[in-house]
């Protein structure tokens, strides 16, 4: 199964495409969609939408996972990220794909086994799970890979629970 993880943002949207099969994981591709800071915001959203549409066509994921929006102290930034997330969700929907959404704590729990893990712990465990010599850059791409791993582990867990109920 090919899983595309997305860490939404309007300056940098990270993505990570993994292949997951029987609890074995392999990184296929990762990177970021970036927009210039001084550009009109609606033009930035258009770039994100167009690039995400192209990425979905090229990557051909079976499933997509995205981080849920977390409003920290800066609500203004959160609103911009929410708008970016909206055009990303639209692109996914138009590609005919369903999307699973995960809170940051769920990603930490699935990857590290501890919901209050640090960013460093998540990155280190992601690197180990995928057998990478170093974590990909930018950090947004690395975060997106962790989101894809979270989905792979969560989806596997949900599938096995459903199969056990049928027995």
The question of whether 67 is a catalytic residue gets the answer yes
How many helices (H) and strands (E) the chain has is answered by: 5, 5
Cβ(69)–Cβ(84) under 8 Å? Answer: no
Start-end of H helices in 60-102: 75-94
Which among 98, 124, 139, 140 is annotated as catalytic? 140
Catalytic residue among 21, 67, 124, 139: 67
Annotation says 19 is catalytic: no
**Active-site hit among 7, 19, 40, 68:** 7
Question: 29 — phi, psi (to 5°)?
Answer: -165, 145
CA 123 vs CA 3, 43, 89: distances in Å? 18, 32, 25
Query: Which segments within 24-154 are labelled E, that is strand?
Result: 24-34, 63-67, 99-102
Whether residue 7 lies in the annotated active site? yes
- H or E segment at 13? strand 12-21
Distance (Å, rounded) from C-alpha 25 to C-alpha 11?
29
Residues acting as catalytic residues: 7, 67, 140
């Amino acid at each position: 199964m090919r899983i595309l993880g997305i860490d939404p943002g309007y300056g940098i949207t990270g993505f990570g495409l993994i292949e997951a099969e029987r609890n074995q994981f392999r990184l296929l591709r990762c990177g970021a969609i970036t927009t210039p800071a001084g550009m009109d915001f609606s033009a930035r959203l258009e770039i994100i939408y167009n690039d995400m549409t192209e990425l979905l066509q090229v990557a051909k994921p079976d499933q997509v996972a995205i981080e849920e929006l977390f409003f920290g102290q800066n609500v203004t930034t959160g609103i911009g990220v929410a708008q970016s997330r909206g055009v990303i969700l639209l692109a996914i929907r138009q590609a005919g794909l369903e999307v699973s959404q995960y809170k940051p704590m769920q990603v930490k729990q699935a990857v590290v086994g501890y919901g209050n893990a640090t960013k460093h712990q998540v990155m280190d465990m992601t690197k180990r799970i995928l057998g990478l010599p170093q974590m990909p850059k930018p950090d947004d791409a690395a975060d997106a890979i962790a989101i894809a791993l979270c989905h792979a582990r969560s989806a596997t867990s949900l599938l096995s629970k459903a199969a056990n109920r049928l027995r």
